[in-house]
Amino acid sequence: MIKTDILIIGAGPVGLFTVFEAGLLKLKCHLIDVLPQVGGQLSEIYPKKPIYDIPGYPSVLAGDLVDNLMEQIAPFKPGFTLGEKASEITKNAEGNFQLTTDKGTTIVAPVIAIAGGLGCFTPRKPPIESIDKYEDNGIDYMVRDPEKYRDKEILIAGGGDSALDWTIELADVAKKITLVHRRNSFRGALDSVDKVMALAQSGKIDLVTEAQAIGLKGDDKLTHVTVKTKEATNDLSVDYFIPLFGLTPKLGPIAEWGLNITKGSIEVDTTDYSTNVDGIYAIGDINSYPGKLKLILCGFHEGTLMVQSAFKRIYPDQKLSFKYTTVSGVNAFE
């Protein structure tokens, strides 16, 4: 049996940074994640993708951000249970949560923080016949290593940030890139839209709007994607088809814990990101509240406020003295 102060479900960037903020309050953390490694989506989906909105980093590779976070939390010696899924949760005689994983590991803590990552999501697949046949044989729902697509013909479908970002990043890697979107307007960042338009105008990519991928062709491996526009239907030669339509939340056993859930997200109080179950918090992409933005930096903020509330719950008779690390350094908190 593992005992800790805060049990964090999800070892993505938000869960990792929460360890640091908890450590400043001398709270110990243990993290559990269904993935076999830390980092969540950053490690599993796009470790080589640059991230541009982390304060202090004009650009940082997702994998490098995970490495930096692990270095940052190392002084606080967190525990990890990886490759296991949070399953059953009960209260013990002392009033603490007792969580059991699908592999029988038991972790006891007075506070649980749900920091949902990749283990809570699955890719949204376009409704194309026989799409399962070509998965891992020409169809990828995420880009793990851009070098896989070097000198290849790529068709990307989607109109959000992922579709735009990977079109930009792979423009200098792939032999040919075609971006297909069903509308003329895009949902992604305006700067990314401008870059994609510039790439299209310069001939670096083919941009096909008001269009959809409706069919797939190939024997054992995908060779063509059928694209329908208002004017015509054409079979485009491809080495890889990458549909990027986002991720669908899959809460799994967490959905049975009595939490208030709306459209696959956990409702929280923005005072401290607590849920309706006393002692359980939700931070990062898994939570929901008015004005919610699914950004890593917003998750960092949520985790920071959450541990302040967790301290008061764990030590109700102790006065919480806030200290700046610029004054005390990190060693003073170990």
Beta-sheet pairing, 60-61 with 97-101: unpaired
Report in angstroms the alpha-carbon separations of 208 from 177, 193, 212: 11, 14, 9
Tokens, residue 223: 């060779």
**Assigned CATH for 2-121+247-333:** 3.50.50.60
Adjacent-strand bridge partners of 28: none
DSSP 41: H
Q: What is residue 117's predicted lDDT score, i.e. its pLDDT?
A: 58
Within 10 Å of residue 328's Cβ, how many Cβ atoms? Answer: 11
Q: What is residue 81's predicted lDDT score, i.e. its pLDDT?
A: 95
Distance CA 320, CA 85 (A): 33
Residues 6+ positions from 304 with CB-CB distance below 8 Å: 18, 21
Distance CA 64, CA 208 (A): 34
Q: What is residue 26's predicted lDDT score, i.e. its pLDDT?
A: 94
Mapped onto helix, strand or coil, the DSSP state of residue 212 is strand
| pLDDT, tens only, 105-140 | 999 999 999 997 545 567 789 999 989 999 989 999
In this prediction, residues 234-254 reach a mean pLDDT of 85
The answer to whether the beta carbons of residues 112 and 97 sit under 8 Å apart is yes
**Assigned CATH for 125-243:** 3.50.50.60
- Indicate if the pLDDT at residue 320 is higher than 90: no
DSSP 263: T
Q: What is residue 332's predicted lDDT score, i.e. its pLDDT?
A: 63
Q: Where are the beta strands (DSSP E) in 115-229?
A: 121-123, 153-157, 176-181, 206-209, 212-217, 224-228
- Indicate if the pLDDT at residue 41 is higher than 90: no
Helix axes 13-24, 296-314, angle to 10 degrees: 40
Q: Diameter of the chain by CA atoms?
A: 72
| pLDDT, tens only, 280-293 | 999 999 999 999 99
The burial class, CB within 10 Å (0-12 / 13-18 / 19+), for 203 is exposed
Distance CA 241, CA 139 (A): 5
**Mean pLDDT for the chain overall:** 90
Q: What is residue 325's predicted lDDT score, i.e. its pLDDT?
A: 76
CA distance between the termini of the chain: 24
Tokens, residue 303: 């985790």
Residues 6+ positions from 330 with CB-CB distance below 8 Å: 24, 75
Identify the residue whose tokens are 């007075």. Answer: 110
The answer to whether the beta carbons of residues 281 and 304 sit under 8 Å apart is no
- Indicate if the pLDDT at residue 327 is higher than 70: no
Residues 6+ positions from 309 with CB-CB distance below 8 Å: 271, 272, 273, 274, 281
**Please, where in the chain does CATH 3.50.50.60 lie?**
2-121+247-333, 125-243
Would you place residue 161 in the very low, low, confident or very high pLDDT band (cuts 50, 70, 90)?
confident
Would you place residue 40 in the very low, low, confident or very high pLDDT band (cuts 50, 70, 90)?
confident
- Indicate if the pLDDT at residue 178 is higher than 90: yes
- Indicate if the pLDDT at residue 182 is higher than 90: yes
Helix axes 13-24, 62-73, angle to 10 degrees: 20
pTM: 0.72
Mapped onto helix, strand or coil, the DSSP state of residue 209 is strand
